[in-house]
Protein backbone atom coordinates (compact mmCIF):
# COMPACT_ATOMS: atom_id res chain seq x y z
CA UNK A 1 0.00 0.00 0.00
CA UNK A 2 1.35 3.44 -0.91
CA UNK A 3 2.22 5.66 2.03
CA UNK A 4 -0.17 8.34 0.75
CA UNK A 5 -3.08 5.93 1.18
CA UNK A 6 -2.42 5.69 4.94
CA UNK A 7 -2.34 9.44 5.60
CA UNK A 8 -4.91 12.24 5.81
CA UNK A 9 -5.15 14.52 2.73
CA UNK A 10 -1.83 16.23 2.04
CA UNK A 11 -2.50 19.76 0.83
CA UNK A 12 0.09 22.51 0.85
CA UNK A 13 -0.10 26.28 0.53
CA UNK A 14 1.68 26.81 -2.76
CA UNK A 15 2.44 30.45 -1.87
CA UNK A 16 4.74 29.32 0.96
CA UNK A 17 7.99 27.36 1.05
CA UNK A 18 7.26 23.66 0.82
CA UNK A 19 9.83 22.09 3.17
CA UNK A 20 8.56 23.72 6.42
CA UNK A 21 5.01 22.68 5.55
CA UNK A 22 6.06 19.10 4.84
CA UNK A 23 7.93 19.07 8.16
CA UNK A 24 4.90 20.39 10.06
CA UNK A 25 2.53 17.86 8.50
CA UNK A 26 4.81 14.86 8.94
CA UNK A 27 5.56 15.90 12.52
CA UNK A 28 1.84 16.16 13.19
CA UNK A 29 1.27 12.69 11.73
CA UNK A 30 4.10 11.22 13.82
CA UNK A 31 3.04 12.86 17.08
CA UNK A 32 -0.59 11.87 16.54
CA UNK A 33 0.57 8.31 15.75
CA UNK A 34 -1.01 8.37 12.30
CA UNK A 35 2.56 7.37 11.44
CA UNK A 36 3.51 4.81 14.07
CA UNK A 37 7.04 3.92 15.21
CA UNK A 38 8.69 1.68 12.65
CA UNK A 39 6.84 3.11 9.65
CA UNK A 40 9.14 3.39 6.64
CA UNK A 41 9.05 6.83 5.01
CA UNK A 42 9.97 6.60 1.35
CA UNK A 43 11.11 9.88 -0.19
CA UNK A 44 9.62 8.78 -3.49
CA UNK A 45 6.24 8.01 -1.94
CA UNK A 46 6.24 11.24 0.05
CA UNK A 47 7.20 13.31 -2.98
CA UNK A 48 4.30 11.76 -4.87
CA UNK A 49 1.89 12.29 -1.97
CA UNK A 50 2.80 15.95 -1.61
CA UNK A 51 3.24 16.60 -5.33
CA UNK A 52 6.80 17.80 -4.82
CA UNK A 53 10.36 17.02 -5.78
CA UNK A 54 12.44 15.03 -3.31
CA UNK A 55 14.48 18.07 -2.20
CA UNK A 56 11.90 19.57 0.23
CA UNK A 57 11.06 16.05 1.40
CA UNK A 58 14.72 15.43 2.23
CA UNK A 59 14.99 18.76 4.07
CA UNK A 60 11.87 18.00 6.12
CA UNK A 61 13.14 14.52 7.04
CA UNK A 62 16.46 15.98 8.18
CA UNK A 63 14.63 18.34 10.53
CA UNK A 64 12.56 15.45 11.88
CA UNK A 65 15.78 13.51 12.44
CA UNK A 66 17.19 16.45 14.41
CA UNK A 67 14.17 16.19 16.73
CA UNK A 68 14.69 12.44 17.05
CA UNK A 69 11.37 11.62 15.40
CA UNK A 70 12.82 9.67 12.48
CA UNK A 71 15.93 7.56 12.01
CA UNK A 72 17.70 8.09 8.70
CA UNK A 73 19.76 5.21 7.38
CA UNK A 74 21.79 6.55 4.41
CA UNK A 75 21.28 4.64 1.17
CA UNK A 76 18.71 2.50 2.94
CA UNK A 77 15.55 3.91 4.53
CA UNK A 78 14.05 6.54 6.80
CA UNK A 79 11.95 5.12 9.62
CA UNK A 80 9.70 6.73 12.22
CA UNK A 81 11.65 6.41 15.46
CA UNK A 82 10.53 4.59 18.56
CA UNK A 83 9.53 6.73 21.54
CA UNK A 84 12.66 7.52 23.55
CA UNK A 85 11.77 7.45 27.24
CA UNK A 86 14.92 9.30 28.35
CA UNK A 87 14.28 12.06 25.81
CA UNK A 88 10.66 12.26 26.96
CA UNK A 89 11.74 12.71 30.58
CA UNK A 90 14.17 15.48 29.65
CA UNK A 91 11.55 17.28 27.55
CA UNK A 92 9.12 17.10 30.45
CA UNK A 93 11.74 18.48 32.83
CA UNK A 94 12.26 21.45 30.51
CA UNK A 95 8.55 22.13 30.13
CA UNK A 96 7.82 21.81 33.84
CA UNK A 97 10.66 24.19 34.73
CA UNK A 98 9.35 26.81 32.31
CA UNK A 99 5.68 26.50 33.15
CA UNK A 100 6.17 26.57 36.91
CA UNK A 101 7.61 30.06 36.52
CA UNK A 102 4.88 31.02 34.07
CA UNK A 103 1.96 30.07 36.31
CA UNK A 104 3.61 31.76 39.29
CA UNK A 105 3.87 34.96 37.27
CA UNK A 106 0.33 34.73 35.89
CA UNK A 107 -1.17 34.05 39.31
CA UNK A 108 0.62 37.08 40.75
CA UNK A 109 -1.52 39.54 38.83
CA UNK A 110 -5.06 40.07 37.62
CA UNK A 111 -5.76 39.31 33.95
CA UNK A 112 -9.47 38.70 33.28
CA UNK A 113 -8.93 38.45 29.51
CA UNK A 114 -6.43 35.61 29.98
CA UNK A 115 -8.81 33.79 32.31
CA UNK A 116 -11.53 34.10 29.65
CA UNK A 117 -9.25 32.72 26.92
CA UNK A 118 -8.08 29.81 29.05
CA UNK A 119 -11.66 29.02 30.03
CA UNK A 120 -12.69 28.94 26.37
CA UNK A 121 -10.05 26.27 25.67
CA UNK A 122 -11.36 24.18 28.57
CA UNK A 123 -14.87 24.50 27.14
CA UNK A 124 -13.62 23.19 23.79
CA UNK A 125 -11.98 20.24 25.54
CA UNK A 126 -15.20 19.42 27.40
CA UNK A 127 -17.03 19.35 24.06
CA UNK A 128 -14.40 17.09 22.46
CA UNK A 129 -13.73 14.26 24.89
CA UNK A 130 -14.75 11.39 22.62
CA UNK A 131 -12.28 8.98 21.02
CA UNK A 132 -13.12 10.36 17.58
CA UNK A 133 -12.45 13.92 18.77
CA UNK A 134 -8.90 13.58 20.08
CA UNK A 135 -7.36 15.95 17.49
CA UNK A 136 -9.66 18.77 18.62
CA UNK A 137 -9.05 17.92 22.28
CA UNK A 138 -5.27 17.98 21.83
CA UNK A 139 -5.37 21.21 19.78
CA UNK A 140 -7.29 22.91 22.61
CA UNK A 141 -4.77 21.55 25.12
CA UNK A 142 -1.89 23.02 23.14
CA UNK A 143 -3.68 26.35 22.77
CA UNK A 144 -4.28 26.46 26.54
CA UNK A 145 -0.59 26.11 27.37
CA UNK A 146 0.57 28.29 24.47
CA UNK A 147 -1.68 31.13 25.63
CA UNK A 148 -0.09 30.98 29.07
CA UNK A 149 3.35 31.35 27.51
CA UNK A 150 2.18 34.30 25.42
CA UNK A 151 0.54 35.99 28.41
CA UNK A 152 3.81 35.67 30.33
CA UNK A 153 5.74 37.20 27.43
CA UNK A 154 7.80 34.07 26.74
CA UNK A 155 6.23 32.70 23.56
CA UNK A 156 9.69 31.85 22.19
CA UNK A 157 10.08 29.37 25.05
CA UNK A 158 6.93 27.60 23.86
CA UNK A 159 8.62 27.05 20.49
CA UNK A 160 11.78 25.88 22.25
CA UNK A 161 9.93 23.33 24.36
CA UNK A 162 8.00 22.10 21.31
CA UNK A 163 11.23 21.22 19.51
CA UNK A 164 11.95 18.66 22.23
CA UNK A 165 8.39 17.50 22.88
CA UNK A 166 7.85 14.89 20.16
CA UNK A 167 8.60 11.86 22.32
CA UNK A 168 6.59 12.95 25.38
CA UNK A 169 3.73 14.08 23.15
CA UNK A 170 3.54 10.59 21.65
CA UNK A 171 3.45 9.11 25.14
CA UNK A 172 0.55 11.42 25.96
CA UNK A 173 -1.26 10.33 22.82
CA UNK A 174 -0.91 6.68 23.88
CA UNK A 175 -2.09 7.54 27.40
CA UNK A 176 -5.09 9.70 26.41
CA UNK A 177 -7.49 6.82 25.63
CA UNK A 178 -7.12 5.50 29.19
CA UNK A 179 -10.48 5.67 30.97
CA UNK A 180 -10.85 9.01 32.76
CA UNK A 181 -7.65 10.55 31.36
CA UNK A 182 -9.39 13.27 29.32
CA UNK A 183 -11.57 14.18 32.29
CA UNK A 184 -8.48 14.47 34.53
CA UNK A 185 -6.82 16.81 32.02
CA UNK A 186 -9.91 19.01 31.97
CA UNK A 187 -10.13 19.00 35.76
CA UNK A 188 -6.45 19.95 36.08
CA UNK A 189 -6.89 22.81 33.62
CA UNK A 190 -9.94 24.07 35.49
CA UNK A 191 -8.16 23.95 38.84
CA UNK A 192 -5.19 25.75 37.31
CA UNK A 193 -7.38 28.52 35.90
CA UNK A 194 -9.15 28.83 39.24
CA UNK A 195 -5.82 29.21 41.07
CA UNK A 196 -4.61 31.84 38.60
CA UNK A 197 -7.90 33.73 38.86
CA UNK A 198 -7.64 33.61 42.67
CA UNK A 199 -4.10 35.01 42.40
CA UNK A 200 -2.69 32.06 44.34
CA UNK A 201 0.78 31.32 42.86
CA UNK A 202 1.61 28.44 45.23
CA UNK A 203 -1.62 26.60 44.46
CA UNK A 204 -1.17 27.20 40.73
CA UNK A 205 2.29 25.62 40.88
CA UNK A 206 1.02 22.64 42.87
CA UNK A 207 -1.72 22.02 40.31
CA UNK A 208 0.74 22.30 37.43
CA UNK A 209 3.16 19.81 39.00
CA UNK A 210 0.38 17.28 39.33
CA UNK A 211 -0.93 18.02 35.84
CA UNK A 212 2.40 17.50 34.10
CA UNK A 213 3.26 14.32 36.01
CA UNK A 214 0.29 12.22 34.90
CA UNK A 215 1.66 10.57 31.76
CA UNK A 216 5.21 10.03 33.00
CA UNK A 217 3.86 8.35 36.12
CA UNK A 218 2.31 5.76 33.80
CA UNK A 219 5.41 5.03 31.70
CA UNK A 220 5.79 1.44 32.93
CA UNK A 221 2.21 0.62 31.94
CA UNK A 222 2.57 2.36 28.57
CA UNK A 223 5.75 0.37 27.88
CA UNK A 224 3.99 -2.87 28.73
CA UNK A 225 1.04 -2.03 26.49
CA UNK A 226 3.11 -0.78 23.55
CA UNK A 227 6.48 -2.56 23.70
CA UNK A 228 7.12 -2.10 19.97
CA UNK A 229 6.63 1.67 20.21
CA UNK A 230 9.11 2.57 22.94
CA UNK A 231 12.87 2.77 23.37
CA UNK A 232 14.09 2.64 26.95
CA UNK A 233 17.79 3.03 26.17
CA UNK A 234 20.11 6.01 26.30
CA UNK A 235 19.51 7.65 22.94
CA UNK A 236 18.77 11.40 23.10
CA UNK A 237 17.82 13.36 19.94
CA UNK A 238 19.70 16.33 18.60
pLDDT of the chain along its 238 residues, tens only?
456 556 666 777 777 888 999 999 999 999 999 999 999 999 999 999 898 999 999 999 999 999 999 999 987 789 999 999 999 999 999 999 999 999 999 999 999 999 999 999 999 999 999 888 999 999 999 999 999 999 999 999 999 999 999 999 999 999 888 889 999 999 999 999 999 999 999 999 999 999 998 888 889 999 999 999 998 754 444 4
Highest CATH level, class, for 3-81: mainly alpha
Is 34 strand, coil or helix? coil
Please state the separation of Cα 145 from the chain's center in Å.
11
What spatial distance separates the first Cα and last Cα of the chain, rounded to whole Å?
32
Report the SS3 class of residue 237.
coil
How far, rounded to the nearest angstrom, does the alpha carbon of residue 141 sit from its chain's CA centroid? 9
Q: Bridge partners of 72?
A: 78
Q: What is the CATH number of domain 84-231?
A: 1.20.120.530
Q: What pTM did the predictor assign?
A: 0.87
How many helices (DSSP H) and strands (DSSP E) are in the chain?
11, 4
User: What are the residue ranges of helices labelled H in 107-200?
Assistant: 112-127, 134-151, 155-163, 166-175, 181-197
Residue 47 burial (CB < 10 Å; 0-12/13-18/19+)?
Answer: middle
The yes-or-no answer to whether 3-81 and 84-231 have a common fold is: no
Domain boundaries defined on the chain: 3-81, 84-231
The whole-angstrom separation of Cα 223 and Cα 70 is 19
Please choose, from the candidates 138, 126, 132, 117, the residue with its C-alpha nearest in 3D space to the C-alpha of residue 193: 117
Amino acid sequence: MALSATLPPLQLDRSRHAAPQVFDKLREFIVSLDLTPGTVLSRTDLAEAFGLSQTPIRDALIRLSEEGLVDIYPQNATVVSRIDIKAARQAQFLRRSIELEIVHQLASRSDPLLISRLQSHIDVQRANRGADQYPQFIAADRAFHRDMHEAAGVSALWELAQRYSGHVDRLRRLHLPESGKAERVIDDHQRLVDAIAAQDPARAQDVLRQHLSGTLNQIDEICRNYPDYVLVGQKVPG
